[in-house]
Amino acid sequence: MLRRSAILLVAGLLLGSTLACNFPFIAGLPLPNIPIVNPAPLEIPTAVSLVSETVASAEAQMDADTPPMISAALSATPVEVKGAAGTLDEPVGTETMVPTMEIRFNTPTPLASVESTLVSLPTIASEPTSTKLPLPAVELVPSPIAQPTIPLPTPIPLPAPVVTVPSAPQLAGDVPQIIWIEDLPGRPHSSVMAWRGGVSHPLFADEKYISRVLEFNVSADGTWLAYTTVDTSSVRQVNTITGEQREIAPKYPWWCFRFPAWSPHGDLLAFVAGANSAPWASPSGAGLWVSQPDGSDMRQVGEGIGWANQQVLLAGWQPNGQELLYSVPDLPGMPLPQWRSVSVATGESERLPLKGSLFDVAPDGSWLLGDGFTIEWPGGRQEFSYNVLIRIPVDGSTPQVLTPACRSDIMGQVSPDGTRIAFLSMPSLGFNCPRLSGPITYELWVMNSDGTDRRQIEIEGIIGSNSPQWSPDGSAVYYSAWDSTGSSLWMADAAGVTPPVRLEQTEGVDRFAVVK
């Protein structure tokens, strides 16, 4: 499955005259500021104390043997919780000696201490008997103060508080389901987050924000994220489980690596090596490259690909893992790129029957889903389409237009089994089309891969970038949306039976990628 992060940049790359590592900033949203609400104090059962020595011994034994569960907070400091809560504005009062609980995101539950109220029992005197028996003469030996033996009541155990915030090892121990990025507005910084099961955590634990992310791609097993930033010419990587980081740096200072793409098996990483030069020149080394994940065994794929590599776009790999899909204009300055495939083993390049936008490729690699010029149309003529989804066989046979009249379709994505397509659609203008009134925005739709059974999925808000994307099992469609509270990730039932669900702790999302 191709990643749209590269495909969405086609228009920008075609209009630019040079391939640079700088990129226009994308505005995001600030983090929400929601106060933390402390739970109500717990009622602590009293204990019985007969003498001070017994109380001290019992308290020491309780401190040594009983594992703490909650924290008696005598003061509080602000705690930042991503998406679940904000900052605690006022300290917790200390006038009453009752336990309170403090929740810290991504930290173990603090230790607990419980202070019990001591209750004195009345002295129990023995009643006199009516018959006195003679006692044998014995020698009395002084002994410690004698106290009557009174059985203590069985203590009632405290219920353990239920805290749903997982600890750091739990968060970092699993492969995330979604990687999402929040771009800090007004600054060239991004926050890279990993989401799984309703919990988000930053992939870079030592820093909240990194330099603005340009392109990013997740390995098929979800363990590695490859990305580029505005302040470097390298391809950087971060392990989504351990946080380990590594970098593939260019061999020459005038190179700039862009568009990283993992192979289907995760054993190779492909990228584009660009160089600043005249538009008609092609410097040595510019073009497509592959390497081992750690940067070793770096080698160029083919030669002379592109014009100074300033308008080359790497979309990704063919599903068989043997060819790369890329686009390049026939001549510098051409408005539409020509799509091609190149063999990683031999470097041989082949022209594909599409000139324009490539949205996705079928899981078996037999057809493309795109929009633009096609080489062969019925009657041997060429046509250009605008915002129309076209199913284009790779073998050059007749393409099939999937978009009906008076509709505008974009961003089509093929389901994992190749039987359905999720896409964005809106009414279009035309002489024979119904008149439009009111605000018009793109809507979320699903159809069969042959264009039949078009169905709209009702959503809330305005749909955002990198949408839609299929879940690995094909049962749901993920998308980002903006509403009055900001942007968030949503999950929609592909069958349209149940309403969409907002994903917790995804507030501020700008771009995202579903782990396949």
The phi and psi torsions of 55 (rounded to 5 degrees) equal -65, -45
pLDDT average, residue stretch 79-85: 39
Decide yes or no: CATH 3.30.365.10 for domain 1-23+212-401.
no
Is residue 315 within 8 A of residue 325, CB to CB? The reply is yes
**Percent above pLDDT 90 for the chain:** 45
The pLDDT confidence band at residue 282, using thresholds 50, 70 and 90, is low
- CA gap 38, 90 in Å, rounded: 11
Is residue 289 within 8 A of residue 239, CB to CB? The reply is no
Is residue 248 within 8 A of residue 292, CB to CB? The reply is no
Provide the token pair at 256.
Answer: 């700039």
Decide yes or no: CATH 2.120.10.60 for domain 403-516.
yes
The pLDDT confidence band at residue 281, using thresholds 50, 70 and 90, is low
Output 235 or 119, whichever has higher pLDDT.
Answer: 235
Q: For CATH 2.120.10.60, list the domain ranges present in the chain.
A: 403-516
Q: What is the pLDDT of residue 391?
A: 95
Q: What is the pLDDT of residues 127-176, one digit of tens each?
A: 444 444 444 444 444 444 444 444 444 444 433 333 333 333 344 458 99
Task: Quickly list DSSP for 380-392.
Answer: G---B-SS--EEE
What stretches of 80-141 adopt beta strand conformation (E)? Answer: 118-119
Q: Note if the pTM is more than 0.85.
A: no
The pLDDT confidence band at residue 276, using thresholds 50, 70 and 90, is low
Question: Is residue 12 pLDDT above 60, yes or no?
Answer: no
pLDDT average, residue stretch 458-486: 93
83-87, 123-127, 216-220, 327-331: the lowest-pLDDT one: 83-87
pLDDT average, residue stretch 382-392: 78
